[in-house]
Amino acid sequence: MATKKVTITLEAEQVEQVRMLVDAGRAASVSGFVQHAVAVALDDVAGSGGRCWRRRSRRPAAPSPPMRERGQTLHSAAATVVPDPLAAVRVAGYTGNPPDILETTDDGASFTQVPGAVSGGQMTPYAIDTNGVPGTFGVAGDFGRITIYDSVAGVWQTSAPTGQIIVGLMGIGNHWVAIAAAGEWWYSTNNGASWTYSGGYLNYASGFSILTVHAAEAANGVWMATGYDTLATRTIWRATSAAPTNGASGFFGGSSGEFSLIQATGTANLVTIYGIGYGGAGNVWYAAGNFGDVFRSTDNGASFSTWRNNFPAINYDVSTNPDTDTVIVASSQGLYRWIAGVDASAGLPGGIWYAVAYAGDNTWVAAGDVGKISVSHDDGATWSPAAVPHGAAIYNQITVV
């Protein structure tokens, strides 16, 4: 769901009270507190017979006006709260035991550990996502470990429903889906407190298929995953139910589950699709894979076709600024950027980048190998490296909460 920045005027005393909560660690930020207050108010209205729309924020995040002074601006008599888009960014990476789960509190100059973050022990993170509730996010990885921070309850939920590597994690409200690398999946209906096996796999082309899953994201009312089916390359999976619970089972029952199999068109390459991202507005999605292929959907993920190609790069992730129609891909050959479909990649950072996310207000974050996290405040035209806790870490996951 697209979002919009608004200006809220509060009494000076109320602003000071909110700032005291932030300083005491009881609220993540002034903007986060206000977003949570709005969500609670909407729920109250819905409970009394009114209508309520739930805020959804994942890659990409809330669109905003072209440029402004970043950060939070507070005036004495009445306060204008201007959200800092980077305050909602979470980055995960592998450093050993435990992994880095990071945030920034200084406009992207540095990233530090999220206070109280737990992982259930050693874990290489392979997935990260939010469930649309401001401040709530989850991280998952090897040993089947999943850790979710419930911002409403203020607690971490850590589980290991399987011993397999979890490579896809996505949520809408209290319902989460976790997908293993081989395509089996589990779901939670209580915000990660417990998990239930779906009974099978993502749908597969035939009983002779071998599945490999790489990424997942839920947005705009659909649940999406990407990877590779040996008998259906350029593979994307899609579920449209509000809360998926049924996996495909049986040797020849590959089409019995809720996640339908979609084969992207427009290329003869044997493409593995590594990343997927909602376009932030309308029914547009993007997916990125090897052989330099970038795919696009305009029907909310029901079909995909080749949109651009930056061969010989292996594309790992993709995100979009819907305000400016800017698309950025993280790849093995650096960051690639298109504006309204026109290549604007000249001068962008090279090297290996595993994740990229639009945070709002023309602000972007990218993460990669050898401790790389960089931030852009001009819609991806220029990038500045951020200080990180571990210079040798592999930072491979980003979400916007």
Please report the pLDDT score of residue 73 as a whole number.
34
Q: What is the pLDDT of residue 256?
A: 86
Residue 47 falls within a domain, yes or no? no
3-state SS assignment for residue 274:
strand
What pTM, to 2 d.p., does this model score? 0.80
Does residue 57 lie within any of the structural domains?
A: no
Q: Is residue 246 part of a domain?
A: yes
Q: What would you report as the CA-atom Rg of the chain, rounded to the nearest whole angstrom?
A: 20
| pLDDT score, position 29 | 65
pLDDT attached to residue 380? 98
Residue 6 inside a domain? The answer is: no
CA distances from 250 to 86, 229, 256 (A): 45, 17, 9
**Rounded Cα–Cα distance for residues 276 and 300 (Å):** 12
Say if residues 376 and 364 touch (Cβ distance below 8 Å): yes
CATH of the domain at 136: 2.130.10.10
50 within domain boundaries = no
358: amino acid identity, one letter: Y
CA angle 143/145/147 to nearest 5° reads 165
Each residue's pLDDT, cut to its tens digit, for the chain (401 residues) gives 444 555 566 665 565 555 555 555 555 566 666 666 665 454 443 433 332 222 233 443 333 333 333 343 333 334 444 568 899 999 999 987 788 999 999 999 999 999 888 655 678 999 999 999 999 999 999 999 999 999 999 999 999 999 999 999 999 999 999 999 999 999 999 999 999 999 999 998 887 888 999 999 999 999 999 999 988 889 999 999 999 999 998 655 568 899 999 999 988 888 999 999 999 989 999 999 999 999 999 999 999 999 999 999 999 999 999 999 999 999 999 999 999 999 999 999 999 999 999 999 999 999 999 999 999 999 999 999 999 999 999 999 999 99
pLDDT of residue 26: 53
Q: Is 287 left (phi over 0), alpha (psi -120 to 50) or beta?
A: beta
**Helix, strand, or coil (residue 338):** strand
SS3 category, 36 = helix
Residue 53 phi, psi dihedral angles, 5° rounding: -110, 130
Looking at the structure of the chain, the number of domains it has is: 1
Where residue 120 falls (left for φ over 0; alpha for ψ -120 to 50; beta otherwise) is left
Classify burial at 391, counting beta carbons within 10 Å of its beta carbon; exposed 0-12, middle 13-18, buried 19 or more: exposed
Q: Is residue 109 part of a domain?
A: yes
Write down the pLDDT at residue 257. 93
Distance CA 319, CA 316 (A): 11
> Is residue 233 a part of any domain in this protein?
yes
Per DSSP, the residues of 41-85 read HHHHHHHTT---------SS-----S----S----SSEEE----G
Specify if 158 maps to a domain: yes
- Residue by residue, DSSP assigns 219-269 as ETTEEEEEEEETTEEEEEEEE-SSS----B-STT-TT-SSSEEEE-BS--S
Range of the domain at 332: 85-400
